Structure 1
Amino acid sequence: MHKSHGFAAPGYEGVLDLFESFLAEDPEYSAQVSAYRNGQKVVDLTGGPHITAGTITGVYSVSKGVAALVISLLVQEGLLDLDRTVAHYWPEFGVHGKDGLLVREALSHQAGLLGVEGGFALDEFHTPQAAARLADARPAWRPGSCFGYHAITIGILMEELCRRVSGTSLQSIYDLRIRSVYGVDFFLGLPEELEPRYRNVLYDTDPRQPWLDPLSLDGLNSNAPVSSIMELPNRQEVRAAGMSAAGGVGTAQGLARLYAAVTTGVDGGAPLLTPETISLMSQEQVWGLDRSSGLDNAFAVVFMKPHPSRNFGSHRAFGHEGANAALAFADPSYGLGFGYVPRRAEDGRTPGRAHRLASAVRCSAAAAS
């Protein structure tokens, strides 16, 4: 049996016990979990044979929540208005019935732009060409009429809006104004000198299976003509570019510190975002049947929101999950920043570990109040 390394503060022993129960039931289980409460680290645990506290690995769509913190900063500073149309900032976007689509609608998966014919090349994601192709695309449904998870294209939308209003890249703003300022061990664009810390996400099955019809909504959504979403962070060119939809890499401690830094502040410092900005960005925009997945889902502006099938926090919580079951979020109700990163992608045989750990952290925080 593998034992955990790290610590759980007094009152958080239940989190440690739960994490070690996961290690006991599966000898291959390898993960990191971390939490901050009111700006102070209260949990930082690592366990299993395939990971250390310093291991950096992929977290897939958890990257979207990180990128959304940059969007939140642009909104806070008045550069981006959620109630303006996307075409106001990006005139070329306003074709094929997309001229009335609001920024808040586009960034809550209502655009109907799941992908483009033929998919995006891996070296195309961050280029003006990708944005131009998306701007010229015809939506799969009337924009604003329903919602469906935009697994790849919401990253292109965020990045192009950021370029239009700030004149620089989303990744640069994240690195200069958030990551480096708060000492966050999470990257949208992994520097070459840190590559030795990276370890590939492990899979139990071939990530390209089952086959997806590249012309289906699901195929467009997952960029199936080019690659499997599950392969993305394991591609050096993807994590080096810091693709904001699915290319972020880092540690659970880095993610927990990040969400704490922007909401409560860390180590006695002031938070990056104001309560007003947090309330605006984390307000639920859509809930119900997701047109892309066919499952129930709920979104704020980019951020995932808790609901009965994704019960990771209080009604005020906001964050994002990843395809490998990684999870990171802030929960203002409890003053929490939380991060969970497994080394092996988790599937239906091991559901809910991240949510169970998040619940244990919340229980401990509530008891300490």
Structure 2
Amino acid sequence: MSDQIRIEGTCNPDFAAVRRAFEDNFEHRGEIGSSVCVYKDGEKVVDLWGGYVDRQKQLPWDKDTIVIMNSVSKSMSALCVHMLIDRGVIGFDEPVANYWPEFAQAGKEAVLVRHVLSHTDGVIFSDAAPAGSWFDWNAHVKALEVQEPAWQPGTGGAYNSVNIGFLLGELVRRTTGKSIGKFWREEVTRPLGVDYQIGLQPDEKARVSDMHENPKNGFFQIAGDPTTPLSRAFRSGPKGYFQNIRELREIEMPSFGGHGNARAIARVYAMLAGDGEIDGVRLLSAEAVERASQLVWDNDCIMTRRRLRMGYGFMHNEPETAPMGSNPKAFGHTGTGGAFAWCDRDRNMSFAYCTNLQREGPGIGPRGASVSVAAGGGPAPSWL
């Protein structure tokens, strides 16, 4: 390794390939700062971090550095709703309007909870939302109440880039009286002891690395094209590059505003790999994990312009864009910044990676893909 690159942490010899791929990202793929973590059979076998938080490579990425992990938070928001379904607070096959009566407008009375979880509800736009309303919860929710679905709910699927966090978060708020960030902090962070939050406290903000812009990021290229459905979904957001703005750190944005590191998310997914339990802490029943792990649709997505295999809040293994090892039943989630996490229940294994340099391309990109393939085996993308 170059003297300029710092790699710290631990790696079980059985997973030496992960360390090699992690180092290779810094040597050959332009990595700035990142972390990777792997659990096997409930034990942490890889916990590596390295590089720097700044492009000038003056400030080291430390053990407790956190970064925005973007849409990984969609799966964490789904986990919150699965916990409430497991407790009988929310019905998996019940209409959303049973808990949120104002939602039953403009053809949405038949939208079920499972439709929202699986990105099949059709509520992918928020045309009535004022500019900048991502950070005004009530204004954006009111816009969703009057939004007409883009298709008959339950008959098709497309990535719900912005709205799913509001939809799931409002279900949590309506049924528990708590915001989704507060529910997460109390019901997941504390029991599992993980360093991941949706809405940061001042001491947590002090440990955040900026997310560095990458002109090769395909997702933001699509969002920046005014002719695309993804651009329409982004209309109510802030102008310009928003990944490091104060609001995204302080205000709960459960679609893509969660901040943490690989160690935290790998532990959450290790709980899922262990059928809802890790280290004696159970968050879900085995039956709930089985329900959550089902594949719902597999198709080219109009929003992301790539193939997606989508389940109930989780993406499923797709070797060309989201390689999750050798098991086609593995499930997890990508983040447009480059974060990537998944679990394989058959092997009781979980993986997570995060970076402060946005990924390349519309899929997970070569840095996330390389460490994921090293951890889980299976076919590498043809372009890697």
Tell me: CA distance 1:120–1:261, structure 2 relative to 1, closer, same or farther (3 Å): farther
Alignment match, 1:19: 22
In structure 1, the partner of 2:235 is 223
Q: Which amino acid aligns with 1:10?
A: P
Question: CA deviation digits over 1:261-315, x for unaligned, max 9?
Answer: 3543777323322221111011111111213233211111111111243221423
1:282 equivalent in structure 2: 293
Q: 1:83 aligns with which of 93, 98, 101?
A: 93
Aligned 8 A contact 2:38 2:350 in 1: yes
Which residue in 2 is equivalent to 1:272? 283
Q: What is the one-letter code of the residue matched to 2:18? A: V
Matches within 5 A, 1:1-369: 1=2, 2-26=5-29, 28-50=31-53, 51-117=61-127, 119=129, 121-122=131-132, 124-125=134-135, 127-205=137-215, 212=224, 214=226, 216-223=228-235, 226-227=238-239, 231-232=242-243, 234-264=244-274, 268-309=279-320, 310-313=322-325, 314-348=327-361, 351-363=365-377
Alpha-carbon spacing, 1:89–1:308, altered in 2? closer, same or farther (3 Å): same
| CA distance, structure 2, for counterparts of residue 258 and residue 6 of structure 1 | 19
Give the Cα separation in 2 of the matches to 1:126 and 1:236.
Answer: 14
- What SS does structure 2 have at the residue aligned with 1:231? coil
CA distance in structure 1 between the partners assigned to 2:365 and 2:192 by the alignment: 32
Q: 1:8 to 1:102 in 2, by over 3 A?
A: same
1:68 Cα deviation after fit: 1.4
Q: Distance in 2 between matches of 1:94 and 1:246?
A: 26
TM-score w.r.t. the length of structure 1 is: 0.89
Q: Which runs of 5+ in 1 are unaligned?
A: 365-369
Partner Cα distance (2:116, 2:87) in 1: 20
Deviates more, 1:115-124 or 1:29-38: 115-124
Using the TM superposition, name which of 184-193 and 114-123 deviates more.
114-123
Q: CA deviation at 1:182?
A: 1.4
Counterpart code for 1:37: K
Q: Partner amino acid for 1:342?
A: T
Cα pair distance change 1:120/1:68, threshold 3 Å: farther
CA offsets per residue over residues 204-245 of structure 1, 9 Å max, x none? 3398767735575221223366335x624x122222123110
Of stretches 263-272 and 68-77 in structure 1, the one that deviates more from structure 2 is 263-272
**Separation (CA, whole Å) in 1 of partners of 2:120 and 2:222:** 27
Deviation at 1:29, TM superposition (A): 3.7
TM, length-normalised to structure 2:
0.86
Deviation digits for residues 4-57 of structure 1 (CA, Å, limit 9, x no counterpart): 211111311121122122222145542110111122110011122332322111
Cα distance, 1:119 vs structure 2 = 4.5
- For the 8 Å contact 1:119–1:226, the answer to whether it is kept is no
For the 8 Å contact 2:222–2:228, the answer to whether it is kept is: no
Instruction: Tell me the distance in 1 between the aligned counterparts of 2:159 and 2:30.
Output: 34
Q: Offset of 1:202 from its aligned partner?
A: 0.5
Change (3 A) 1:206 1:295: closer
Q: SS where residue 69 of structure 1 aligns?
A: helix
Task: Count the aligned residue pairs.
Answer: 362
Q: CA deviation at 1:318?
A: 2.0
How much has 1:184 moved relative to structure 2? 0.2
Q: CA-to-partner distance for each residue in 1:91-117, whole Å, 9 max, x for gaps?
A: 221222211122111221122222222
Closer, same or farther: CA 18–140 of 1 in aligned 2, 3 Å:
same
Measured in 1, the distance between the counterparts of 2:248 and 2:265 equals: 19
Q: Deviations over 1:161-211 (max 9, x none)?
A: 111222222111110111012110111111112221111101133987677
Instruction: Give the conservation status (yes or no) of the 8 Å contact 2:118–2:296.
Output: yes
RMSD over aligned CA atoms reads 2.6
Aligned residue identity for 1:201: M
> Residue 13 of structure 2 aligns to a residue in which SS?
coil
* Greater mean deviation of Cα atoms: 349-358 or 17-26: 349-358
Secondary structure at the aligned position of 1:194 is classed as: helix
Task: Tell me, in whole angstroms, the C-alpha distance in 2 between the residues paired with 1:106 and 1:261.
Answer: 23
What per-residue deviation string (whole Å, max 9, x for no partner) do you get for residues 109-129 of structure 1?
A: 122222222645546546233
Whichever residue aligns with residue 353 of structure 2, its letter is Y
186 and 74 in structure 1: CA distance in 2 versus 1, 3 angstrom threshold? same
Distance in 2 of aligned mates of 1:235 and 1:363: 37
